Structure 1
Amino acid sequence: MVKPAHVSVGVRLPVRTRFGYALGSLSTGAFGTVPGLLLLPYLTDTLGVSASVAGLLVLLPKAWDVLFNPVAGRISDRTTGRLGPRRPYLIAGGIALAVTFAALFAGPDTGSATVDALYVAGVFLLCATAFAFFQVPYNALPAELTDDPAERTRLTAWRIAVLAVAILVCGAGAPAVRDAVGGIDGYRVMGVAVAVLIVVGAVGVFLGTARVPRARTLPSVSSWREVLAAIRDCRAFRWLLAAFVVQAAGIGVLLAGVDYLARVAIGDRSVQPLLFVAFVGPALLVMPAWQRVAARYGKRLGYVLATLVFAAGTLGLLGTRVLPVGAVIACAAVVGVGYAGIQVFPLAMLPDVISTEELRTGQVRAGLFAGVWTAGETLGLALGPALYGLVLALGGYVSSSAGEDVTQPAGAVTAVVLGIGLVPALFALAGLPLLRRTILEVRP
């Protein structure tokens, strides 16, 4: 297959390429945020599905993605044509994702919680499949755009900055649209609005990477045995992936709990946008600082520091019931500072791993490793809402239909707080021993 040419060490990518690549995070951020934030409440408090079942319905379609993402990676690795191996999937997968996402919240409203829940599960499966064809090539691109570790960190920082904007817009805007319209129609209008943002991201990254040069030809893996062998032989990739997946589960729990924290623990749904602004806003401000940490101390140490900051912020949320709302929002801001780091550092280290393996083996690894990476990220983020749903169920959370007013028992309120404060911190800290075993340490 033909592989895009690398930009040499010390040579910066054009701003057009950096910005164009980063625009893809509008799509990944929208799909990564809104289902994690609103799909569980949609099932429990609009369709009347029990919390435990709703958690499973959010998890199972994502489990399919775990199996399918490596397939998408192999397909893109072996794709040839004038558009290259990645860009055809960026536009096709992005548009398919937008269509299926709009359909996700546009169910038939049959009045049967079982039928409506099965519809959501089926369409979410289609969303996950479309997302695989977009996200896997998207994650593979940095290793093919530049050989320079510092430039990869900058490229990833641009990506995370746009991702933060997408999370901010979706995290604050999607619930606002839902609440402004109200009821099940609010979810439908919100779904269409987010679908438009996904299309903008897909078109943006497709056009923004149009001028990437193409050069040398390398073989790719051709069988599942070779896929497994490639993963087995790359110790740095395995441990980096394991740390990222564990922490992604914690992030998934956190996202799933924001709506419940505002509504149930604080008792004011209008606080939710403020929590999201506090969570995402610092990411835009501290990204240059995290880049300086990477330049001076290395990416791995930066990753450790970001993890500790994230955990400290989430533990602070345990005081939600006794702290002033302003203090809770301040804790969310600390979480945001850490979140920016635990996103940028592993994503900046991934292309370094890929390039090292491609040089060692003489084979294309970008799509393969990106596919396995995305599968792991998908699994982690999907486990989050499922775990949070389980915590709610253990606390006795009472589900309801649209428009129905329910008073939650004290155990459910406690579960809401523990689920968003303690659980994400434990998962974040659990990634540190895994990260210590990652032998790769690249200093820009």
Structure 2
Amino acid sequence: MERLGTGIGWRPEIAEAVERMPGIDWVEVVAENVCPGHLPESLRRLRERGVTVVPHGVSLGLGGADRPDAHRLAALAERAEALGSPLVTEHIAFVRAGGELTASPLLEAGHLLPVPRTRDALDVLCENVRIAQDALPVPLAVENIAALFAWPGEELTEGQFLYELADRTGVRLLIDVANLHTNHVNRGEDPAKALADLPVEALAYVHVAGGVERDGVWHDSHAHPVPQPVLDILTDLASRTSPPGVLLERDDNFPEPAELERELASIRRAVRRGRTAADAPGASRDPRPDGGREPAHAAAPHEPVPGATRARLGLAQAALLSALVAGTPVPEGFDRARLKVQARALAAKRADVVAKVAPELPVILGDAYRPAFLAYARQHPMSGGYRRDALDFAGSLLHTAAGLDGRARRELRVWWRDRSGPRPRAHRPAVRLARATRRVLLRH
């Protein structure tokens, strides 16, 4: 595996700061946020300096019941080639459910949701990973995710699930130590046990991020400083193997560049502590679980997954997602309180992302934007991505006119017409920008 070194998640908000940071060997970019034909100048300059850029996908849904979408795979492959990346990464998660497989409406989560750690889910995931591997021009690595809740009837621990996935497919692993901490707080899972079960020889690199605890639930926010327990898990991992790369993720509430540099320094120290422990006299660990014992599951690795298996998984995921985003009854066996927390988190995520992809909406609606969107989300599950979500939200407001004064209604109608019509008028963007700028200046 190529040695990546120390990196940071590249985001437009900190692009200039990242370019100036010392000791940055590589960056990771959200794959869906870059256009191969129009790469940001900051990424171009980093690449020219020899900084490795890795695309990190968030929408493929490899843990879903359906086979990976060919168009999404092609888009991910195109970004890897445009960036000259040595690998691409995605998540062990499902992000949508329903559709033809279950003869039910297709629903989008708008976020990463955990797959059940069952044999059915593992069989489907392995086949989906193989399909993705065959379609990509570079190796694939998949990431463990944070979870607010557990599935009933799980048959494997997280470490066992990841071990069998890597063993059966040869896929590399992106281990997020912050997500291990999240699952420790929210699900009572032991990070050290998960690390002991991992096939560390499959490690591609490591994510480190911050979060926040509210009412006994840890939220993997990527908007807070990295806590010491996460650094301790990183040290434990580094005592077991030398990570090819370690990357700091920050997606919101960006601090000053000096603070990011201090966090990177803390990450480097945590890794050094782990390597020092590994080099201490008497420190010896077999990198394979159970001293190299073969995994218990002996299913044929390339046998196609039966359609009935995908259907069972699809029905279970559709029922869960419908409960989270459409208010249908909670499936039996789930923690209802935790699902309520997850449902609120999904709605808040939708509101935040729609505000980013359509920044004019919070300007037009002001303080009314967030409560209006959350009220809309409770009645309208997302089914067509965030940009479609923004249009549908605006159209719903115009239809009901709830809470809109005359000025907001006029500006919202202009915004909606410009984006929903077949050919927006050329002068509208400049007019919108001028109006939005004037409103912001007047408020401040």
TM-score between the two structures when normalised by the length of structure 2: 0.28
Higher strand share: 2
Higher helix share: 1
Instruction: Look at both structures and tell me which one has the larger radius of gyration over its CA atoms.
Output: 2
